[in-house]
Chain A
Amino acid sequence: LAKTTQPISMDSYEGQEVNITCSHNNIATNDYITWYQQFPSQGPRFIIQGYKTKVTNEVASLFIPADRKSSTLSLPRVSLSDTAVYYCLVVDTGGFKTIFGAGTRLFVKA
């Protein structure tokens, strides 16, 4: 299983763009990169998933370089409600066993 490494915490201000980078040096060919958001006392919520290059949806963008050994979650114009823990996961589409890393605690200030 690919191990992921993320910054433990990040601070930002409302309206700024936030980029959280995740390292996954041992990613395998069949692995997808998925990001989740978790608020206190809630289950994680799916944000975005990708395999390579760039993926964008209504809430975020995901940038994955050609070697796929890292990925960057980009949150445009964050608000106070984006304060949460963000987890980068490498998901094996075959086995599905998902191991969570430590996550990044994002704190958005007014």
Chain B
Amino acid sequence: GAVVSQHPSRVICKSGTSVKIECRSLDFQATTMFWYRQFPKQSLMLMATSNEGSKATYEQGVEKDKFLINHASLTLSTLTVTSAHPEDSSFYICSANRGEGAYEKLFFGSGTQLSVL
């Protein structure tokens, strides 16, 4: 099946630094990718929709200057957590959609555990 690669899988950083997370669709082109965050024992919360060649669409309550999204190509979207603080510690997951005839499917990356000290 389709593969979405997400890196890094785990990152620990100091408060105030910026962290970049990459999401790649390895065997298909994705015009749209999605970014989620997930706290322990909670569901995934959609943060933003990343569109290739245009600005991302952020969900209500998500700071676009805090979470910078760049979708520079049809196979790569990046999420940069700027000036990270401990409350930004979370599990971040990306997904990409792949159309297969009448069906559309979302494929997810393996996630990135961010810990801000």
Contact = CB atoms under 8 A, between A and B. Distances in A.
Interface of A: 32, 34, 36, 41-46, 49, 87, 91, 93, 96-103
Given A98-B46, A102-B43, A43 B106 contact: no
**Dominant SS at the B interface?**
strand
16 contacts: A36-B108, A41-B91, A42-B110, A43-B6, A43-B94, A44-B93, A45-B108, A87-B44, A93-B104, A96-B34, A96-B49, A97-B49, A98-B46, A100-B36, A100-B44, A100-B45
Given A97-B46, A100-B45, A91 B110 contact: no
**Dominant SS at the A interface?**
loop
Contact of A43 (B43, B46, B103, B111): B111
Interface residues of B, number: 26
A43 B108 contact: yes
Contacts, number: 58
A99 B36 CA distance: 10
Query: Which of A43, A44, A46, A91 has the most B CB atoms < 10 Å from its CB?
Result: A43
